């Protein structure tokens, strides 16, 4: 699933693909905001951390993320 998601972003060089991916990503953002009841800033942070984790796992660079940083991210997510 992760690699498929990353491939869709890579395919966004095509105008048709980019329009579709952009629309669906916006839909997903709004859906998560509606389900969670959180505001835009919290959802933006959630997506940002998620993207960072996706990229580091896909590239095999997860060692760059130290344990303390990951724990802080999860604590902040639980507290928001």
* Amino acid 77: pLDDT: 67
**Coarse DSSP helix, strand, coil percentages of the chain, rounded to the nearest 5 percent:** 90, 0, 10
The number of residues in the chain equals 80
Domain boundaries, given as residue ranges, for the chain: 2-79
| Mean pLDDT of successive 10-residue stretches along the chain, which has 80 residues | 86 96 96 96 91 83 74 71
Give how far Cα 26 sits from Cα of 15, 29, 30, 69, Å.
16, 5, 6, 28
User: Position of tokens 């130290």?
Assistant: 66
Overall pTM > 0.85: no
* Amino acid 20: pLDDT: 96
């Amino acid at each position: 699933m992760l690699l498929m998601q990353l491939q869709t972003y890579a395919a966004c060089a095509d105008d048709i693909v980019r329009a579709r991916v952009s629309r669906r990503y916006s839909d997903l953002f709004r859906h998560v905001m509606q389900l969670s009841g959180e505001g835009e800033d919290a959802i933006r942070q959630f997506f940002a951390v998620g993207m960072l984790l996706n990229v580091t796992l896909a590239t095999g660079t997860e060692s760059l993320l130290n344990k303390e940083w990951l724990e802080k991210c999860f604590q902040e997510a639980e507290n928001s």
